[in-house]
Amino acid sequence: MALNKVCFSLFLLATFNLYSQELRNNFFEEGLRERIIFLNQYENYCEIRSIALKTSYIAKKNHYYKTSELILRKLLDCSDDDLLVYSELLELYKETNNFDKVVSLNKFARNKLSNEKYAEFEISRSKYFSKSYFKYNYEISTLYSSNINNGISAETIELFGFPFSTSKDSKPKSGIGLNLDINYEYNIPTKNGYDKFISFINVKDFPSSIGDNSFLYVGYVRNSQIENLNFNIYSSSRLFAGENVLTSTGIDSHLRLKRKFFKKIIIGIRDDNYLANFQSGTSLKAQIIFDSFLSNYNFSYEDFNANQDTYSFQRYSLNFKKWEFNDLDLRFFISKSIYEENFFIFNKTRGDQTYSLSVRKNNPIFNSYQVSLDITRIDSNITIFDSESISVSFKRNY
């Protein structure tokens, strides 16, 4: 760290004379000289960050590249994790074909940025210099679940108008196991940003195989020629107790909005193939993501048409995706599902309400550790579909 400070100080000394020479140059565009005189009144450019960034941009636009670079470097001196400043430097070095300084900036970023921010910097660097980039991470956690077998919570169920007690084997079973999450992302620079290949694997392993389940997902996000619009083509599989119970394929369109409070609109179609074919069908879904003091939350509507009408439904969902304060990350989900046809054996048309609360506690000293609590409850007017579970996990990020 000390060596970085010494090198950076030498850089400032070496470029100061050139900076002063440009300041005295009669070819400065109107207003630029005044801006730099104003900046020189401050030792800490971060106090006037927006003015400094604008001045750097004007200097670059008028081909005063050294002046532009020095302003950005001084911003890094007081805030060495500012990704916008890194991005501006990358753009400057691309315009001046100064790839050696990209190498130097990359070393500086690697020492200064967190792993998450450095990954974002790498994506920006590959976008500017036409190089593909991949990133991955995996998380291993110890997991406790109160319902590993998706058991029936109700004591009795009603069939053909008569009550029947639920068997002991059908009741929820608890267990302690391991949870593994693996994410892989490969970014391919394009004219309008970058396309990316995404894969995700989740595996939950319990001592009894009855609770083992896994989820596999692969997708390709394609940037369109239309600004702020991209498409996601994907396929996924869900396995339970070693058997593939659901395979899905679909396509989503994502439109990023430049409006206050509205962040993104997602419209998609998905084909679900269940092990029990009468449940298979096609889903149409629309989702709008809002931007607010809760970070973001979204509302969605889904229309699912199953091979058997009793499993067709309309679903309305509200998802507070992220709500952070202090070291807590809270997420809340609520949905209402309305089914179309009457279940003959239950003599009812099914209706469900789902509630889910997730609480994440991040360790303020060791950010790679996280404790999580997840509570999920399904209330249905047909008791056989009632369900509830509580899970607690201790996670370490790598």
Last residue of a domain, one of 96, 130, 164: 130
Beta bridge partners of 220: 197, 233
Indicate whether 289 and 142 sit together in one domain. yes
Is residue 345 over pLDDT 90?
no
Q: Which residue has the higher pLDDT, 69 or 369?
A: 69
Indicate whether 241 and 386 sit together in one domain. yes
The whole-angstrom distance between residue 253's C-alpha and the CA centroid of its chain comes to: 16
Q: What is the mean pLDDT of residues 370-381?
A: 90
Is residue 29 over pLDDT 60?
no
Is residue 352 over pLDDT 90?
yes
Predicted model pTM = 0.68
Within a 10 A sphere around the Cβ of 191, how many other Cβ atoms? 7
Return the C-alpha torsion angle 126, 127, 131, 132, nearest 10: 90
Indicate whether 99 and 156 sit together in one domain. no
The whole-angstrom distance between residue 8's C-alpha and the CA centroid of its chain comes to: 34
CA 238, 240, 246, 247 dihedral sign is positive
The first and second tokens of residue 113, run together, are 């940025």
Indicate whether 140 and 287 sit together in one domain. yes
Indicate whether 121 and 232 sit together in one domain. no
Rounded Cα gap, residues 9 and 106, in angstroms: 18
pLDDT of residue 363: 59
pLDDT of residue 302: 97
CA 283, 289, 295, 297 dihedral sign is negative
Indicate whether 74 and 142 sit together in one domain. no
Q: What is the mean pLDDT of residues 307-335?
A: 85
The first and second tokens of residue 223, run together, are 């940037």
Phi, psi of 379 (to 5 degrees): -105, 120
Q: What is the mean pLDDT of residues 171-197?
A: 85
Indicate whether 329 and 374 sit together in one domain. yes
Number of domains in the chain: 2
> Helix, strand, coil proportions of the chain in percent (round to 5)?
30, 50, 20
DSSP class of 207: S
Reduced to 3 states (helix: H, G, I; strand: E, B; else coil), residue 365 is: coil
Indicate whether 143 and 179 sit together in one domain. yes
Indicate whether 250 and 374 sit together in one domain. yes
Select, from the ranges 87-91, 265-269, 360-364, the one with the highest average predicted confidence (pLDDT): 265-269
pLDDT of residue 362: 67
pLDDT of residue 325: 60
**CATH of residue 295:** 2.40.160
- Residue 88: give the domain boundaries: 2-130
Rounded Cα gap, residues 231 and 308, in angstroms: 30
Last residue of a domain, one of 82, 103, 130: 130
The whole-angstrom distance between residue 281's C-alpha and the CA centroid of its chain comes to: 28
Is residue 311 over pLDDT 70?
yes
pLDDT of residue 179: 92
The whole-angstrom distance between residue 364's C-alpha and the CA centroid of its chain comes to: 21
Residues in CB range of 242: below 8 A, 6 or more apart: 209, 212
pLDDT of residue 323: 59
Q: Do 203 and 179 form a contact (C-beta atoms < 8 A)?
A: yes
Is residue 364 over pLDDT 60?
no
Indicate whether 315 and 270 sit together in one domain. yes
Is residue 23 over pLDDT 60?
no
The first and second tokens of residue 39, run together, are 């900046």
Is residue 383 over pLDDT 60?
yes
Indicate whether 267 and 369 sit together in one domain. yes
Indicate whether 121 and 174 sit together in one domain. no
**CATH of residue 60:** 1.25.40.10
Last residue of a domain, one of 94, 114, 130: 130
The whole-angstrom distance between residue 156's C-alpha and the CA centroid of its chain comes to: 41
Select, from the ranges 125-129, 238-242, 261-265, 374-378, the one with the highest average predicted confidence (pLDDT): 374-378
In SS3 terms, 110-158 reads as: HHHCCHHHHHHHHHHHHHHCCCCEEEEEEEEEEEEECCCCCCCCCCEEE
pLDDT of residue 161: 67
The mean pLDDT value of the chain amounts to 82
When mean pLDDT is compared across 34-43, 143-152, 250-259, 321-330, the lowest value belongs to 321-330
pLDDT of residue 208: 78
Residues in CB range of 92: below 8 A, 6 or more apart: 60, 65, 68, 69, 72, 98
